Amino acid sequence: MESKRTEKATLVDGSTIEYVVKDNPPKGGMKYTYFTPDKKYVVQFFNDPKNANDINIHKRLEAIVGKYNPTLSEEKGGSRGNTQLAADYFSSRFCWPKSLIKSPEFGIVCPAYPSNYFFSENSTDIEGYKDILKGKDKKSTYFTSPKLSKYLKSDELGDFRSMLSLSINLARSIRRMHQAGLAHSDLSCNNVLIDPQKGTCVVIDIDSLVVPGLYPPEVIGTSGYIAPEVLETMELPIDDPNRKLPSSYTDLHSMAVLIYEYLLKRHPLKGPKVYSTESAEKDDFLALGPKATFIENPVDKSNRPKDLTYTIKDLGPELEKLFIRAFVDGLHSPNERPTAMEWEKGLVKTWDMLSQCSNSKCTHKWFVLHDPQKPICPYCKTKIKAKEVVRLKLKSRVRGRNGQWIDAGEINCYDNMPIFKWHIYSNCFPDEKAERDLQASIHYYQGQWIFVNRGIAGMLSPSGNIVPIGQAVLLSDGSSFQASNDEKGYLIEASITRW
């Protein structure tokens, strides 16, 4: 019979926390886990007493809980420059350790992840699988593996737009970590939980972070997500100068693999190419390490599956470029990999190019409409019902050159589309600090497209007159207007493609 009892742990600040001790607690690679009675927190201890007594691990965790903590404002002892707004934002995106335990032995307290990252009994229709799935963490393999996702109810799977949304989430969280000089070092399908329904993700297992100036953790990562250079040199002694250890560069590989899996439901390096017939281990080592080849490499097609129906080209030019940099230019050259910030920007730009599929049964529901001449969903091949594509080109002022503008982004319009500050001003970016109040909205009204001012000071009409709040400009092919007469305001050019 399973026994349960409640124990008390003392934290480093002297306060205590209760936790429920169970037989066979859930065990990870490093630690085992108990819950507090209210299930709001988990209490974790190390499997190996050597780790629990390791001074380097103590120092690293102290830094993670304190001065590098993005889920705590600077005022409350968190990372430098962190506002309460940013801290609140990241609290739901990271499962960040909250405090350290000093007795009965060294351990950590983390928030439990929110309930939407656990499966419920309604997640599948398959009898016998319901009870198994219920309460399990939403690891991304459940959603990105066609073999597994077919057992889930279709509403669990989200759609292309929600997968893009959680990709933005991930890039933003990793960008925040890297900004602070931290590296996760073990990003994988197991350490980023996703909720495709809501379009959000949470990064967990924060305790193996690489912290500046402190000893790196001794993890190398999870198979399939380890950067090729780390796999290739893992046999070398830890202090060998040629040995590559997890770092922010290797995170950039792992993250690109995850984003590729979220958006394309396959692994970027696992194709048909046989690298060695000697053994499966050898073949895998070469395929993910020294000889790794992107399945969509535009030049070397040796690893390209025959049955690719949609590719990175269908994700639009921004993401196509990023994936080529991550998996062709940067696969074996870590400095060539796009940074998390570049991913965040590219993903956000791609968001503005989304178009809803006209086929209500389409599994993806949304797609990136990058070529207005070909308004066809790449997933179900349905042409959109609308008779036209209305696109807004955003242009920003070239500094010091009056009257010159450069391309800064594009928007595909749809009825009732909200327009935010980052669509109006070139110095605004939709990150954790962005204000998300409505600036304008786009409507299809009496057979015409209009751009309604909802809160912009200094919006101008095509002829240069002020458009007061509540008034609108007509979007016609070739028309252009200044979204704001502020120096940072974009010039918006409309184009309408009809067929």
What angle separates helix 340-351 from helix 317-324, to the nearest 10 degrees? 160
Under rule CB under 8 A, how many of the chain's residues touch other proteins? 41
Distance in Å, CB of 296 to other proteins, minimum: 14
Query: Please, which of residues 432-461 interact with other proteins by CB under 8 A?
Result: none
26 part of the interface to other proteins, by CB under 8 A: no
**Could you tell me which stretch among 253-261, 264-272, 417-425, 479-487 binds other proteins (CB under 8 A)?**
264-272
Report if residue 223 touches other proteins, rule: CB under 8 A. Answer: yes
Exposure string over 461-472, b if 16+ CB within 10 A, otherwise e: bbeeeebeeeeb
Binding region for other proteins (CB under 8 A) out of 3-11, 174-182, 272-280, 363-371 = 272-280
CA–CA gap between residue 251 and residue 257 (Å, rounded)? 10
Beta bridge partners of 394: 409, 492
* Choice between 25 and 111, CB closer to other proteins: 25
Q: What is the DSSP letter of 328?
A: I
- Residue placing its CB nearer to other proteins in the complex, 146 or 403: 146
Residues 41 to 100 in contact with other proteins, rule: CB under 8 A: none
Q: What residue ranges in 235-371 does DSSP mark as E strands? A: 354-356, 366-368
| Spacing of C-alpha 75 from chain mean position | 28
Residue 104, preceding bond cis, omega within 30 degrees?
Answer: yes
363 binds other proteins (CB under 8 A): no
146 makes contact with other proteins (CB under 8 A): yes
The DSSP secondary-structure symbol of 152 reads S
498 lies in the binding site for other proteins (CB under 8 A): no
Residue 142 makes contact with other proteins by CB under 8 A: yes
Residue 202 CB, nearest distance to other proteins (Å)? 17
Rounded distance, CA 326 to CA 254, Å? Answer: 10
Tokens of 317: 């030019």
Of the candidates 8, 282, 374, 488, which one interacts with other proteins according to CB under 8 A?
282
Residue environment code for 343-357, b if the CB has 16+ CB neighbours within 10 A, otherwise e: bbbbbbbbbbbbbbb
Q: Quick check: 439 and 452 in contact, CB under 8 A?
A: no
Residue 162-201 contact track with other proteins, rule CB under 8 A, x = bound: ---------------------------x------------
Range in contact with other proteins (rule: CB under 8 A) among 35-43, 89-97, 271-279, 384-392: 271-279
- Taking the complex as a whole, the smallest distance from the CB of residue 298 to other proteins amounts, in Å, to 20
Q: Which residue, 144, 271, 281, 288, is CA-closest to 224?
A: 288
| Residues within the interface to other proteins (CB under 8 A) | 24, 29, 126, 129, 132-133, 136, 139, 141-142, 145-148, 151, 189, 220, 222-223, 226, 231, 234-235, 266, 270-272, 274, 276-285, 288, 305, 307
